[in-house]
Structure 1
Amino acid sequence: MAFLALIRKARVSLNRESSDIPPGSLPNPGSVEKELTMKILQVVHGFLPQFRGGTELYLLGLVRELRRLGHDVEIVTGTTHVADEPKIDRFIHDGFPVHKIVLSGSYLEHWTRSLCPDASALFRDVVKSVRPDIVHIQHWYRLSRDLAEQATRLDVPVVCTLHDLWTSCPRIFRIRDESFCERPLGSENCLSCVPRFPWMDDPMTAREIDLFRDDFVQELALARRIIVPSEAHGELVRSVLPVDEARIHVLPHGTITGLGSESRPPLASAKKAPRENDRRRPIRLGMWGHLFHMKGAHLLLEAMGEIRRKDRFEIHIWGEVIEPAYKERLEELSQGLNVHWHGAYQPPDLAKTPLDVAVIPSLCAESFSFVLDEAFALGLPAIVSDRGALAERIGNAGAVFEAESSKSLSAVLIDLIRRPDQIAAWREAIPELVGMDWHAREMGRIYEKVVREGAPLEGPGNELLERRLGHLARRQRESEALMFGYLGHIKREQGRGDHYEGVVKEMIAKEIRMGAEKARAEDKARDLEAQLRTLREEVRSRSAELKTMDDALKTMDKELKSMDRDLKSMDRELKARESRIEERERLLETLGLEVEWLREVLLLIEDDEPRLPPVHAPIPETSVHVPGLGPMEEVRSMDEALSRGFLKTLRGLREGRRFLTDHLAEKDRVVVRLAEMVEEMRRAFTAILGSEERFDEIEGAEEAVRDVDVPVLGTLGEARRVNLDLAREALTHVAQLRRSLEAAESEVLLLRARSQTESEPDAETETEAESGTETETEAETAAETAEPTPDPAGAEGSPKAAEDV
């Protein structure tokens, strides 16, 4: 053993002397405890500025701290860029030399291309040119899965960090059928799961899987230290790969929350920041990162859909959804929920939205989770799944639910509704984050120990190399067999082509023979085309004529339809006019009976015993409107009222006349008596006085007799005035009755004239209707403006006669 140690030290010394690192940076054999300054070659699958993920930012923070500690660091990175020929592009980023290995070809990220001889050769060239003291492999993806072997063959010790499960799963994250897979890597477990090309059969795929496993088993065996960021990740690696537990070293990542987010508050101030403590407002949940299916965003939305009081939560989600089907699923699950989609983001954006709790519902086994670091840096407790490092790191700073179970997550959320005060207790339990400076110092100590140990003396065996060569040879043979199969197919197709060539030649000869016939046929075709054009012109002409005739027929059809509508309208009008004629005939009959009745009324009024005759004209069922006078019912009611009033007045006049006759007779008797008395008095006074003056006094006494009171009527003058008033009132009623009779007779004449002209042509009907209307208007005007005319034949209707009475 001592001899091996001396050989190793000598090899390290020789490496240092042949490198460009200044002397004294490596320890001499007598100062093993002195801290080393080393040249370190970091290897990663992608680096800034092309990639900016968690691993890339972690590596940037680590190399910065290593540089601050005095170490010389260079970086080898993979890329998705391709070139015509494999090459190395060199550039400087943040002061660090970067060697980017650019490959050629396609499907470079496919797991079957993870063993890439071109990448291995280019990596070996970089190691030879840089001459590092140690190689730290952060990832093999996009490079080759024999990097540790290549460095060991160049006598450079290797350290590797397992950021994920790429070394134990061709699908990287061990997600199978949307669930986490814990089966050991091997063809017996992975044959039906791994992606394959169409030409890969089961035996070829099985050999690829087993070779993939054995290559990484050797890589981890050649690494002097296997660094994992959590105990949970180390246990998972040991369960799926045969790894020496003694070489697994747990070293938590240094935080990267300060990278690119200088405005973010430190953890202590974030925990002490004032928080709203309003139990009435919703609890604000936050989730961010790469929104793949394995990150479990759908699980949060499903759990929220199972909660009855959905309004008690407000969800904020940052990140982009790459897969269209998964995006559609998330949009469907978010219906009816209070979800805010913020899209692409930068780390400082998270501090702009107030949150209460972070949710990390990952389906895969997280090796560390920088998202949890970001939540702690923001002073947020977290609800996490119980898979991987999340449950290990959360402690009392949050809650844990069963991975892949929406019911378990909904139970945690329901408990949060019932006991929202536990958020404050969770916040107080948030641990301090591991600083990148401490992490880099610990990593430097690991480097120093590994450098002192040196690369393994045994080195990689040839068995695996022979298997690779055998696999490549077999794959070459299978490819050649496929190629020969394709060549045979091509030859068969070529023979078939020769046969077709003879057929084609015969067809060409036949075509030549048919040339003349074709020319003749073309001439005939041209003649036929000319005839066809003539026929087409004739057809177009006939079509135009047919169209004209069709338009004329359509016009005639429209006219017939219009005439039919007019006939129907005229038929309806004729029926309406017949109905009006019948109605007016009934009205004429009714008015004739009414006129007869009024005439009888006038005749009976002149009798000594005035009375109303019986009504001979029944009122029609339908109310008839008499122009100028109103409805028939009102005309008859008015006539009856006037007749009754006139009869009442006439009876009063006749009673007064009888009384006046009797009174006048009595008056005559009184006058005669008075005359006799006057005569007697005249004679007496004449005899006594014998003078004319005395006689005049007696004559004055005779004038005084005229004021004698008449019984019931008062004085003779008052009785006369009463008689005159009664006579005038009676004459007024008679005049009104005569006007009504004249108006009724005029209307009867007008209706008879209209009924006679209904059946005449429309133009004559309209003219006569207009003249009838003018006649009616003149009759109404004359009836309204006519003054009462006393009847000269009746002495009782004359004011002079009444005055004489």
Structure 2
Amino acid sequence: MLDTKFRILKVIHGFPPDFMAGSEVYSFTLCKELVKEGHKVFVFTRVENEFDEPYTIYDESYVNGEFVKDSNVAQDNHLSIRRVNKKKDYTYKDKFYDEGIESAFREYLEQVKPDIVHFGHLAHLSINLVKIAKEYQKPVVFTLHDFWLYCVRGQLIDSSLLLCDGPSVEKCKACSPYTTMESEVREALENLKGIRESIDMFISPSHTLRDYFIKNGIQEDKIIYQKYGFDKASITYKKRVFGLKDKIRFGYMGRIIPTKGIKILLESFKMLTQNYPEQKLRIYGNIGSSKRFLQESFVEFMGGYDNGEIDRILQEIDVLIVPSIWLENSPLVIQEAFLAGVAVVSADIGGMLELIDGDKGLCFKAGNAESLKNVLEKIIQNPSILNALPDNRDSVDSIQQDHQTIFSIYTKLLKETK
């Protein structure tokens, strides 16, 4: 009889507290829930620590809300984490292959003897980790967070920040930030195809990603749609009722990079403040040295934040703006805003449009600063239009719901391998 408590190895390119983007935060939430349900959970990930030698190993446990250094021996109610020090990527090949990471992964796989290997991302690791897991006859699950298994940039957007319809040797070579030979690109694309074909089951949090993968060769029965799960109790619902004279607090939360539409956001506010000079925009996220190039009189840079501060931040804004110019997968921040009762204004493409789903928020034409300005202006002129937006909490899955689906996938694959 199949045991209902599994040994699970989660592989992700970054993990809290070192990396706090959506894929890392979601992976952490899922791992904690798996531990809570009685599974033995191990994480294999990378760090970039310039003070130690490449491939230095750091073993930790996450227990009672804290990361603790240890020998990485799994105990009840402990999440065991192995971090491997990885030098930064300097060449095209570095994006796909790393023999040192492969060696560390093989060693860890042999040590923890998982029943199943669940990948979240391979960037900065090595695509060969999937091959190694299959060498050991482990079922492989892969949760998709972007288009990386087709596009080294991950976002299907080229170096000119234009949407790309798919990879080719010529396009990918032109798009690479590295000096790259055509043979290297061709080899990477062929190897990625082999990796995709060897994965037993994909989980896609958006129809946007699922449809793209099916269109480009993945069998429909090998990729299921399952929304991200959230710790819904960690966010306080406090929907505000607006009057005609209320001032609106607009905010942005997330990475401050070009593909997130930051330039479009600032351009829209520059136009908006010509008629509404008192209007401010709060930007939450790490910005570094780019701050002086993005600073405007209407911008309030609020600094970086960790996952534990999201509830507080969402209480500080009335409208969350999600202006990404790439298709996005299923932005956590939109669903977190739903849980908090905060209105969302998003670009009308990809996983963003899916989540808004007609009436759950307001949309503007992606990449169009004037279109965004017009939507924001309507809100300023009549804040009460936000009162008509529905309570979207039920549209967000709990991590418990998510776990049930993932557990059923694990169970099915393990039965098939017995």
For 1:374, give the aligned amino acid: E
User: Who is 1:425 aligned against?
Assistant: 388
The answer on whether the counterparts of 2:315 and 2:340 sit within 8 Å (CA) in structure 1 is: no
Displacement of 1:285 in angstroms is 1.4
Displacement of 1:380 in angstroms is 0.8
1:364 pairs with 302, 326, 331, which one? 326
- Does 1:414 find its partner at 2:386? no
Match runs of 1:508-527 below 5 Å: none
Displacement of 1:311 in angstroms is 4.3
Rounded to whole Å, the distance in 2 between the matches of 1:305 and 1:145 is 43
Displacement of 1:373 in angstroms is 1.9
For 2:187, give the aligned amino acid: L
User: Who is 1:321 aligned against?
Assistant: 287
Structure 1 gap ranges (5+): 1-23, 28-35, 456-805
The answer on whether the counterparts of 1:381 and 1:427 sit within 8 Å (CA) in structure 2 is: no
User: Who is 2:13 aligned against?
Assistant: 45
Match runs of 1:371-770 below 5 Å: 371-395=333-357, 396-428=359-391, 431-454=394-417
CA change 1:246–1:453 in 2 (3 A) is same
User: Who is 1:72 aligned against?
Assistant: 40
CA change 1:428–1:125 in 2 (3 A) is closer
User: Who is 2:70 aligned against?
Assistant: none
CA change 1:328–1:173 in 2 (3 A) is farther
- Does 1:330 find its partner at 2:301? no
User: Who is 2:194 aligned against?
Assistant: 218
For 1:322, give the aligned amino acid: G
User: Who is 2:223 aligned against?
Assistant: 248
Displacement of 1:309 in angstroms is 2.7
For 1:119, give the aligned amino acid: I
> Deviations along 1:732-784, whole A, 9 cap, x unmatched?
xxxxxxxxxxxxxxxxxxxxxxxxxxxxxxxxxxxxxxxxxxxxxxxxxxxxx
Rounded to whole Å, the distance in 1 between the matches of 2:134 and 2:256 is 39
The two structures have a TM-score, normalised by structure 1, of: 0.47
- Does 1:231 find its partner at 2:231? no
Displacement of 1:55 in angstroms is 2.3
User: Who is 1:81 aligned against?
Assistant: 49
2:28 pairs with 60, 80, 87, which one? 60
The answer on whether the counterparts of 1:217 and 1:242 sit within 8 Å (CA) in structure 2 is: no
CA change 1:352–1:401 in 2 (3 A) is closer
1:108 pairs with 89, 103, 107, which one? 89
Displacement of 1:360 in angstroms is 0.6
Displacement of 1:222 in angstroms is 0.9
- Does 1:173 find its partner at 2:148? no
Displacement of 1:140 in angstroms is 0.9
Rounded to whole Å, the distance in 2 between the matches of 1:386 and 1:351 is 22
Displacement of 1:59 in angstroms is 1.7
Match runs of 1:287-306 below 5 Å: 287-306=252-271
User: Who is 1:160 aligned against?
Assistant: 142
The answer on whether the counterparts of 1:401 and 1:408 sit within 8 Å (CA) in structure 2 is: yes
Displacement of 1:227 in angstroms is 0.9
For 2:191, give the aligned amino acid: D
> Deviations along 1:360-385, whole A, 9 cap, x unmatched?
11112211111112211221121100
The answer on whether the counterparts of 1:282 and 1:311 sit within 8 Å (CA) in structure 2 is: no
For 1:99, give the aligned amino acid: R
CA change 1:159–1:297 in 2 (3 A) is same
For 2:202, give the aligned amino acid: I
> Deviations along 1:604-657, whole A, 9 cap, x unmatched?
xxxxxxxxxxxxxxxxxxxxxxxxxxxxxxxxxxxxxxxxxxxxxxxxxxxxxx
User: Who is 1:196 aligned against?
Assistant: 178
The answer on whether the counterparts of 2:244 and 2:381 sit within 8 Å (CA) in structure 1 is: no
The answer on whether the counterparts of 2:230 and 2:396 sit within 8 Å (CA) in structure 1 is: yes
Rounded to whole Å, the distance in 1 between the matches of 2:228 and 2:315 is 26
User: Who is 1:526 aligned against?
Assistant: none
User: Who is 2:121 aligned against?
Assistant: 139
The answer on whether the counterparts of 1:316 and 1:341 sit within 8 Å (CA) in structure 2 is: yes
For 2:59, give the aligned amino acid: R
CA change 1:419–1:131 in 2 (3 A) is same
Rounded to whole Å, the distance in 2 between the matches of 1:301 and 1:251 is 34
CA change 1:177–1:49 in 2 (3 A) is closer
For 2:244, give the aligned amino acid: R
Rounded to whole Å, the distance in 1 between the matches of 2:34 and 2:384 is 43
Displacement of 1:405 in angstroms is 0.8
Rounded to whole Å, the distance in 2 between the matches of 1:452 and 1:392 is 34
Rounded to whole Å, the distance in 2 between the matches of 1:44 and 1:420 is 42
The answer on whether the counterparts of 2:144 and 2:202 sit within 8 Å (CA) in structure 1 is: yes
For 2:287, give the aligned amino acid: V
Rounded to whole Å, the distance in 1 between the matches of 2:315 and 2:377 is 27
The answer on whether the counterparts of 1:78 and 1:141 sit within 8 Å (CA) in structure 2 is: no
For 2:405, give the aligned amino acid: E
The answer on whether the counterparts of 2:118 and 2:140 sit within 8 Å (CA) in structure 1 is: yes
CA change 1:187–1:167 in 2 (3 A) is same
The answer on whether the counterparts of 2:204 and 2:227 sit within 8 Å (CA) in structure 1 is: yes
SS state at 2:141 partner: strand
Rounded to whole Å, the distance in 2 between the matches of 1:278 and 1:101 is 53
Rounded to whole Å, the distance in 1 between the matches of 2:322 and 2:103 is 41
Displacement of 1:195 in angstroms is 1.5
Displacement of 1:428 in angstroms is 3.9
Rounded to whole Å, the distance in 1 between the matches of 2:248 and 2:38 is 48
> Deviations along 1:272-299, whole A, 9 cap, x unmatched?
xx53x33224332111111111112221
CA change 1:91–1:416 in 2 (3 A) is closer
> Deviations along 1:125-183, whole A, 9 cap, x unmatched?
22222221110011112221111111111111100111122222222333324423323
Displacement of 1:323 in angstroms is 5.1
Rounded to whole Å, the distance in 2 between the matches of 1:323 and 1:388 is 30
CA change 1:88–1:412 in 2 (3 A) is same
> Deviations along 1:284-339, whole A, 9 cap, x unmatched?
21111111111122212212333453247442222222353xx34422xx34x4x3
CA change 1:420–1:144 in 2 (3 A) is same
Report the structure number with the largest CA radius of gyration: 1
The answer on whether the counterparts of 1:282 and 1:312 sit within 8 Å (CA) in structure 2 is: no
Displacement of 1:231 in angstroms is 0.5
The two structures have a TM-score, normalised by structure 2, of: 0.87
The answer on whether the counterparts of 1:381 and 1:398 sit within 8 Å (CA) in structure 2 is: yes
1:208 pairs with 172, 181, 184, which one? 184
Q: Which moved more, 1:412-421 or 1:377-386?
A: 412-421
Q: Per chain length, whose mean CA-contact separation is higher, i.e. which structure has more relative contact order (CA < 8 Å, sep 6+)?
A: 2
SS state at 2:175 partner: coil
Rounded to whole Å, the distance in 1 between the matches of 2:390 and 2:21 is 27
User: Who is 1:13 aligned against?
Assistant: none
Task: Give the helix-richer structure, 1 or 2.
Answer: 1
Rounded to whole Å, the distance in 2 between the matches of 1:52 and 1:430 is 23
User: Who is 2:72 aligned against?
Assistant: none
Rounded to whole Å, the distance in 2 between the matches of 1:110 and 1:161 is 26
Structure 2 gap ranges (5+): 64-77
Displacement of 1:109 in angstroms is 6.5
SS state at 1:166 partner: coil
Displacement of 1:432 in angstroms is 4.0
For 1:208, give the aligned amino acid: E
For 1:301, give the aligned amino acid: L
- Cα RMSD (Å) of the superposition? 2.4
CA change 1:420–1:399 in 2 (3 A) is same
The answer on whether the counterparts of 1:191 and 1:206 sit within 8 Å (CA) in structure 2 is: yes
